Homo-oligomer: A and B are copies of this chain.
Amino acid sequence: MIQEKITTRDRLISAALKLFYAEGIGAVTVDAIAAKAGVTKRTLYYHFSSKDDLIVAYLEAKDQPSRALMQRWFDETRGDIAAKTRGIFLNLAQSACHAKWKGCGFLRTSAELANLPGHPALKVGANHKKRFEGWLQQQYEQARIFDATRLARQVILLLDGSFSVVLLHKDPSYMETAGDAAYRLVTAALQTVDRTAEIEPIPLRSAS
């Protein structure tokens, strides 16, 4: 019984993920999500009390996978953290070439909800971005960069800028340009690495 409920809920979230990302939260009806999930509207409302609940669930479902993907791109890029940072942008440029790519679901949702400042989905979007910014900051701190907070914010600004600009111009080369800018900023920051600190450098990866 519990198993069945989880599966139905998952099917609904999966349908919401596909439709909200492809069409936008305003353009998609609750009926369309129920139909895509193959359930009745009554069943949908058993799991989600409103469309707003579904929007929140959509962004919550995107949070961890989106961050994991960008972190994997960073980890898998060879070179120093400037090159690794650029690796995120270069991989993103590849993704943006796909016909189904429609920018950043979190930013697009926040643009659609600009008239509803208290909407709970905005909090989910803001938390997602802050978590990724925090992770990036941690990477820069581990590399002993002096102002890791500011550097992480600058890279996030370039990243979110490239989502918005590429969505507008349909030209993924802007992501490569943003990656170049991030590479320059991280490289410049690496020259300010705090070499006077008395603590031992924190290893980038724990031994396993």
Interface residues of A (CB under 8 A from B): 22-24, 26-27, 102-103, 106-108, 110-112, 114-115, 117, 122, 125-126, 129-130, 150, 153-154, 156-165, 167-170, 174, 177-178, 180-181, 184-185, 188
Contact = CB atoms under 8 A, between A and B. Distances in A.
Nearest to A156: B165
Contacts of A156: 161, 165
Given A156-B165, A161-B159, A161-B162, A24 B111 contact: yes
A77 to B, nearest CB: 20
A160 B110 CA distance: 14
30 contacts: A23-B115, A24-B115, A26-B27, A26-B112, A27-B115, A102-B115, A106-B168, A107-B164, A108-B111, A108-B112, A110-B167, A111-B112, A111-B167, A112-B112, A126-B168, A126-B169, A129-B168, A129-B169, A150-B180, A153-B174, A154-B158, A156-B161, A156-B165, A157-B162, A157-B178, A158-B161, A160-B164, A161-B162, A164-B164, A188-B188
Contacts of A159: 161
Specify the main secondary structure of chain A where it touches its partner: helix
Contacts of A108: 111-112, 114
Given A112-B26, A112-B111, A115-B24, A157 B158 contact: yes
A157 B129 contact: no
A60 to B, nearest CB: 16
Contacts of A122: 168
A35 to B, nearest CB: 17
Given A130-B169, A161-B162, A184-B188, 12 more contacts: A22-B115, A24-B111, A24-B114, A26-B26, A107-B168, A111-B167, A117-B170, A126-B168, A153-B174, A156-B165, A157-B181, A181-B181
A161 B157 contact: yes
A126 B110 CA distance: 20
